């Protein structure tokens, strides 16, 4: 394609998605500098073709070869960028590994992100999903971000309000989808830190270690231990972590299910609804440890779909649809996938 950009053709994406799907991109560009995006914007032929933005590839299911241009965001850098009386501000480039960034903040003596340890993916992808775990979400510590607007060719500076964060959701899944390319993310970490031990599993892990007054690193270590036990390593078994969102349902439906299933796992929400544990619902339908061909459900966590070796994205999507249909038929709950289906 006519451009000074180093664009490769027929590029395998197998190493760029944690499911290990061997899909190919018609065209591929590794983005290490915003100047490349400006050049891409100026090239009208490149700007006109379909785009797929990849970071760590931990929140995508590739069901076919991609016919357009894949942009792999690989910008690097982390820094302390300011402070006030209440907070320290840190900034990370979009291509940084999320877990490495969390560990870096802890090494600097800054607490806040410890509950989000070991979540796979990149810093730039984290706001899109508003990642969360063990009672904490990205939105709790997010300050602002900078993105490149492929519609105008200009930089966007977005505040927390601008990002319209919700449960596993943001403006980047809606009006800014396929338009904004996140370049760097800024976080506000509290100087007056309080541990977040709302999840019983996390508190139990700390107690088992004899820790009665946990610091941030203690919590990070406990989260890492729990996730390592429960979740498969994408480097060994292809997966994208939790495949389905935990559904939020009415109190009426929750109470109806509770009467039928006294062990139902549910969490009250501020609006009177209840969040249900999707993994528990899937387990009730007998899917834990089951597979269809090379597409399977993890034996230790029903929320995780795995590539047992050689599964295509279509195979995994077929399995996901079967699970969704069973949960809907048995419980009247429709599960939504977390990963982007391409």
Residues marked active site are found at 168, 242, 338
Q: Distance between CA 287 and CA 190 in Å, rounded?
A: 41
Q: Distance between CA 23 and CA 11 in Å, rounded?
A: 9
Cα-Cα-Cα-Cα dihedral sign, residues 174, 176, 178, 184: negative
For residue 193, give both structure tokens: 């830190």
Strand partners, 83: 88
DSSP string, 147-170: EEETTTSSEEEEETTTTT-BTTB-
For residue 318, give both structure tokens: 């077929």
Whether 46 and 3 have beta carbons less than 8 Å apart is answered as yes
Closest CA to 26 of 73, 68, 71, 72: 68
Tell me the CB-side half-sphere exposure of residue 198, using CA atoms within 13 A.
Answer: 9
Name the residue with tokens 């077929």. 318
In order of 49, 164, 181, the CA distances from 175 in angstroms are 19, 10, 13
Name, in order, each residue with C-beta under 8 angstroms of 255's C-beta and a sequence gap of 6 or more: none
């Amino acid at each position: 394609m006519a451009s000074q950009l180093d664009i490769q053709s027929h590029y395998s994406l197998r190493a760029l998605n944690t499911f290990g799907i061997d899909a190919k991109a018609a065209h591929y560009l590794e983005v290490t500098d915003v100047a490349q995006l400006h050049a891409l914007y100026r090239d009208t032929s490149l700007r006109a073709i379909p785009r797929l933005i990849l970071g760590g590839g931990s929140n995508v299911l590739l069901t076919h070869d991609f016919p357009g241009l894949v942009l792999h965001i690989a910008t690097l850098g982390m820094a302390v960028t300011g402070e006030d009386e209440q907070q320290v501000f840190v900034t990370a480039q979009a291509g940084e590994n999320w877990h490495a960034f969390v560990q870096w903040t802890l090494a600097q003596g800054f607490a806040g992100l410890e509950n989000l340890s070991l979540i796979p993916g990149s810093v730039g992808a984290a706001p899109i999903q508003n990642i969360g775990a063990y009672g904490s979400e990205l939105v709790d510590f997010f300050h602002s971000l900078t993105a490149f607007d492929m519609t105008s060719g200009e930089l966007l500076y977005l505040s927390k309000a601008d990002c319209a964060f919700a449960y596993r959701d943001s403006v980047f899944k809606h009006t800014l989808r396929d338009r904004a390319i996140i370049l760097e993310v800024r976080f506000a970490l509290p100087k007056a830190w309080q541990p977040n031990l709302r999840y019983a599993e996390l508190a139990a892990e700390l107690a088992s270690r004899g820790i009665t007054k946990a610091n941030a690193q203690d919590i990070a270590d406990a989260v890492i231990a729990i996730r390592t036990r429960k979740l498969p390593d994408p480097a060994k078994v292809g997966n994208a972590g939790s495949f389905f969102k935990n559904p939020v349902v009415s109190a009426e439906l929750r109470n109806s299910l509770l009467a039928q299933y006294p062990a139902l796992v549910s969490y009250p929400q501020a609006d009177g609804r209840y969040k249900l544990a999707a993994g528990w619902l899937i387990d009730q339908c007998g899917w834990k440890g089951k597979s269809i061909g090379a597409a399977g459900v993890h034996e230790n966590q029903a929320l995780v779909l795995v590539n047992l070796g050689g599964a295509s994205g279509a195979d995994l999507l077929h399995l996901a649809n079967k699970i969704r249909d069973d949960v809907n038929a048995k419980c009247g709950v429709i599960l939504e996938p977390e990963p982007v289906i391409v």
